[in-house]
Amino acid sequence: MNIADLRKSYEKAELSETASHADPLQQFDQWLNEAIQGEVPEPNAMTLATVGSDLRPSTRVVLIKGFDARGIVWYTNYNSQKGRELAGNPYAALQFHWVEMERVVRIEGLVEKVSDEESDEYFKSRPLDSRIGAWASPQSEVIDSRTVLVTNAAKYGAQFLLHPPRPPHWGGYRLKPDTWQFWQGRKSRLHDRLRYTLQADGGWLRERLAP
């Protein structure tokens, strides 16, 4: 089959100015809950885009771990490629793609680390294997083989037993949105696309974009 011939007609829902929330956080909360209730595979998975010092963008999938008026939170290794890139350029973009619901959410903004207290609290809630894994994996570094990871996991497991502390190189990031986009697939490629832009007074300007 020629991949250029793969097409889909989007007809499940619509997104209008009158039926959407004036606050993008409320709109996101509604769509995320609908994705969870609709049993979309991994509704909490989001693509994170960062830009390195060489101006080359890179993406990877991470998991949202919380959100509120302050922003969108995820956790990772600060020494990873994304951590290094955020240290040099703290602006990033996130994207959720809920295929089964024919929806996409794009979020852009400034990224900052969450507090040590927030990182500690979340780290303690993780399964033991995940906590050991945070110590065992030198994320984004070249390693000789998987044996390195297995050996490191055994080493730190024996060292910390049931109570591994949070590694100093591991913690949370929070993206503070200044732009949101909500995309709802529609028939004939005439999709619905609403953009919310943060204003100087803290309010949001909602505008329809051509698809």
Residue ranges in the chain whose pLDDT is less than 70: none
pLDDT of amino acid 63: 98
What are the φ/ψ torsions at residue 192 (nearest 5 degrees)? -90, 135
Q: For 149, left (φ over 0), alpha (ψ -120 to 50), or beta?
A: alpha
Give the per-residue pLDDT at 107.
98
Q: What is the pTM of this model?
A: 0.94
Query: For tokens 């994170």, what's the residue?
Result: 48
With b for 16 or more beta-carbon neighbours within 10 A and e for fewer, the 172-192 pattern comes to bbbbebeebbbbbbbeeeebb
* Cα 167 from Cα 156, distance rounded (Å): 11
Q: Out of 106, 186, 189, 193, pick the active-site residue.
A: 189
DSSP 35-53: HHHTT-SSTTEEEEEEE-T
Give the distance from CA 83 to its chain's centroid.
Answer: 14
Q: Determine the pLDDT at residue 151.
A: 97
* Res 3: pLDDT: 87
| Amino acid, single-letter form, for residue 101 | M
Residue 193 is a catalytic residue: no
Tokens of 90: 């703290």
pLDDT number for residue 161:
96
pLDDT reported for residue 1? 81
- pLDDT tens, residue by residue, 133-190: 999 999 999 999 999 999 999 999 999 999 999 999 999 999 999 999 999 999 999 9
Per-residue pLDDT, 21: 97
DSSP sequence for 132-197:
HHHHH--TTS--S-HHHHHHHHHHHHHHHTT-PPPPTTEEEEEEEEEEEEEEE--GGG--EEEEEE
pLDDT for 54: 96
